Amino acid sequence: MFPVRPNRTASLTAAQQAAVVQRQVHLPGQPVSVLFVCLGNICRSTMAEGIFRHMAQQPQYKDKIGDIDSCGTAAYHAGEPPDDRTLETLEKHDIFDYDHDARRITRSDFDRFDYIFAMDLSNLSDLERLKRENKDSKAKVMLYGDYSGTKKPEVVSDPYYGGQDGFDKAFEQCSRFAKNFLRDVVGEQGEEKTE
């Protein structure tokens, strides 16, 4: 009988496990594509996309990022621009160049993107169901809050029916998650180790 090999990823957080998978799936230098998903695609997912696009322009990520987009699990706001409060929050943090028309997720998104990030558990459940219908999909579906930087995943609560503080909190979370993802996954793409 052969000895049982220990599962080296068992003690890792979900984000760390995703980074291991990322290194296994992508060839060095291959761009990483990401899709952000919430319910209506006018608040959280658009904010996450705007922040991620802005951060991905940094020189160390050049040629490491492929497609970046966002969508909703529902078509309530299809064709509409982001919520004004989302745009105002982005602008308050010097992100002025963001433009988007809301859309609903499609089957082809599961083949187009490497990562599909849900903003909350309801979005995640919807995405996992859709992925099961598209079994050969390359996308890794996960909660964006798995990149919280803590041992505990976080959800990005929908600020649509609340005040500005909900948009500010969503901005803080999405910024932190983007930094962690870029550092942990994208930052390692194509880097050669020197001794």
Q: What does the domain layout of the chain look like in residue ranges?
A: 30-187
Catalytic pick among 83, 109, 126, 158: 158
pLDDT grade for 75, boundaries at 50, 70 and 90: very high
Main-chain dihedrals φ then ψ at residue 54, nearest 5 degrees: -65, -50
140 burial level (CB within 10 Å; 0-12, 13-18, 19+): middle
Q: What pLDDT does residue 98 have?
A: 92
Give residue-wise pLDDT tens across range 169-182.
999 999 999 999 99
Q: Is 44 a catalytic residue?
A: yes
Give residue-wise pLDDT tens across range 143-156.
999 999 998 999 99
- Closest to 101 measured CA to CA, from 81, 77, 84: 81
| Token pair for 26 | 């992508």
Please calculate the CA angle 127-130-131 and round it to the nearest 5 degrees. Answer: 85
Q: Is 97 a catalytic residue?
A: no
Residues 110/138, Cβ–Cβ less than 8 Å: yes
Catalytic pick among 43, 44, 109, 146: 44
Give residue-wise pLDDT tens across range 8-62.
444 556 555 555 554 444 556 789 999 999 999 999 999 999 999 999 999 999 8
Q: Is 8 a catalytic residue?
A: no
Catalytic pick among 38, 43, 71, 174: 38
Question: 30-187 architecture in CATH?
Answer: 3-Layer(aba) Sandwich (3.40)
Distance CA 61, CA 9 (A): 26
Q: What pLDDT does residue 14 have?
A: 59
